[in-house]
Structure 1
């Protein structure tokens, strides 16, 4: 071990750092916890007891020498001393250009969705991302044993099992109905969280836009016409739309919304699983129990609600085949949307 100490001292005496990269390499080799000096301290336990004190003092000397050398190299670089890269810089070269950012595709599509619904009388509502069980589940008619309440589907706050990261923006609908009397006509864009494995088709963080319309004599026809209008405004007048019966705890009757695939134009491809149709939203008439839970007379008022994923809409609009691209901040991906405004 004495030979290792001598070799390190010899290397420290001749060590140089002409740029920040070499300085960082010196720090990792001699100063960090996993440095060669750190390894020697770990080997101290193998030294005989009678030699530990002397050898420990020697290691401290080596450690101080490394720190002094590191400080000297920093000062040398900061002062632009001999051996630094500053003396090799060509001041006649043109300045490096600045990289200009662009609008994120999710932001662009979110704004488009908002504009479409604002033109037909919907306003925008917002609410908390950290929510309680009542506003996220109970008020929306979720039974106590519903799978969505389990840890494998929802992120609960550990210190309080009643507090969680919202799994949908329906919590905003509940809060809106509590504080505002009908008529209500709003959309709720926002970020939501679900305990899912991250893959090309799923993510634990994503974005939704939900809509709510509550008034006297609101019918399923109103829901259908609203979503027909949205689909044709977003994807084009030739877009076909269909409703499939479904089930959601907070709507009755309920339906899932499909549009003709924007990639294969209905002929069948991998995205639409060769059916020609792609699901974009869930919808239905607001369950009377939900209206009652929110203090609205379900004998006088009816309403419809819908919800869609912004990532899915963006995927169809721009043919993005991997959801992870939205959050990885890869400049090569984001530059493709530099013309959006």
Structure 2
């Protein structure tokens, strides 16, 4: 053991390093878990009791010598590295960081929420996987309604009458049902979220998209309240002067029902391919909540009335940013997303 210590002592004292790799090799050789000093300590266990005190002192001095030399060379190497960097011109401008942007659907969603919050609406959310009751039955969908067909709905489980079906929600109206079941009027809320329908993907349709639905239930709520609320929303979103019209329609969960059109924001009503040269674009469906829906949720339809509406966020974004292909919203094409860098809020 003494011969080994004598052999490497001179090597340690003479050690120098010009590169960090050389210093690391020295550390591994002498101070590593499989290095010379570790091996010497293992051999020290076999030394007789009479010699342990003498050899222990020598071994500790050898270890301290290696550690001190390692730190000394390391410090000198660090100083040399710092000197080589002293020529760097710190006054030069740095490399700029590329600015990100929010997704156009996020921008539209935030703007819609902000408009309705100023009218006293709160935001409500619910599960994307729903049972038949909340997605269909409570909303007055009859058993034979086309929306229940496999061609329109992504069913997770087809159950019997007792179990019921489980499916990906086809609209956020299910959140309205949950809200009315678990609370008491008045309700004034909007429900933004993702929905799913079994449709072929194209420039005008997708198997998933985003909706914002609204609900207002209280005493003496009228269709006039619905019209004024939506008229205010359109003026805030698309600017004053945007024209609005209501057309009679049908939805199982509202009566009377209507679809709302606005004057085309692209051609300003003169006619283009976006509005099919009519000057008008349909943006949402709405109506007075059907009394059956209120009763299904445990609300007295003779005391309370309400209105509901629903719109697709993609359609709103299409008109606001002149985006003609729905697939762009979900393809994460950086070239497309970069166009919204100025929209950071």
In structure 2, distance between residues paired with 1:288 and 1:96: 63
Deviations 1:38-72 (A, max 9, x none): xxxxxxxxxxxxxxxxxxxxxxxxxxxxxxxxxxx
Instruction: Report 1:248-327 matches (<5 A).
Output: 248-327=251-330
Aligned pair count reads 249
Give the aligned partner of residue 218 of structure 2. Answer: 215
Residues 143-165 of structure 1, C-alpha deviations (whole Å, 9 max, x = no match): 00001001100000047561000
Q: Deviations over 1:222-262 (max 9, x none)?
A: 00000000000000001000000000000000000000000
Equivalent positions of 1:107-186 (< 5 A) are 107-158=106-157, 162-186=165-189
CA distance in 1 between counterparts of 2:203 and 2:250 reads 26
Please give the TM-score of this superposition, normalised by the length of structure 2: 0.70
Flag the structure with larger Rg. Answer: 2
1:97 is displaced (CA, Å) by: 6.3
**Structure 2 counterpart of 1:13:** none
Paired with 1:140 and 1:292, the residues of 2 have a C-alpha distance of 10
Counterparts of 1:249 and 1:285 in 2: how far apart (Å)?
11
Q: Which residue of 1 aligns with 2:40?
A: none
Segments of structure 1 that go 5 or more residues without pairing to the other structure are 1-91
Quote the Cα distance in structure 1 between the aligned partners of 2:108 and 2:301: 34
- Runs of 4 or more, structure 1, over 3 Å off, are 94-100, 158-161
Cα displacement (A) at 1:100 = 3.5
What secondary structure, in the 3-state scheme, does the structure 1 residue paired with 2:342 have? coil
Match of 2:190 in 1: 187
Q: 3-state SS of the aligned residue for 1:100?
A: coil
- Aligned Cα root-mean-square deviation (Å): 1.5
8 Å Cα contact 2:288-2:305 kept in structure 1: yes
Q: Which residue of 2 aligns with 1:230?
A: 233
Structure 2 runs not aligned, ≥5 long = 1-87
Post-superposition Cα deviations, 1:150-208, rounded to whole Å, max 9, x if no partner, equal: 11000000475610000000000000000110000000000000000000000011000
Is 1:204–2:207 an aligned residue pair?
yes
Structure 1 residue 273: deviation in Å?
0.4
Contact 2:213–2:308 (Cα < 8 Å) also in 1: yes
Deviation of residue 213 (structure 1)? 0.3
Whether the 8 Å CA contact 2:214–2:308 is kept in 1: the answer is yes
Partner secondary structure for residue 287 of structure 2? strand
Task: Report the Cα offset of residue 95 of structure 1.
Answer: 9.4
Aligned equivalents of 1:191, 1:158: Cα separation in 2: 20
- The answer to whether the Cα contact below 8 Å between 2:157 and 2:165 also exists between their aligned partners in 1 is no
Which whole-Å CA distance do the structure 2 matches of 1:226 and 1:99 have between them? 40
The Cα shift of 1:296 comes to: 0.1
Map Cα deviations across residues 87-112 of structure 1 (whole Å, 9 max, x no partner).
Answer: xxxxx9x9986543210000000000
Whole-Å separation in 2 of the counterparts to 1:167 and 1:97: 44
Q: Deviations over 1:284-328 (max 9, x none)?
A: 000000000000000000000000000000000000010000000
Cα distance in 2 for residues equivalent to 1:97 and 1:236: 36
Moved more, 157-166 or 226-235: 157-166
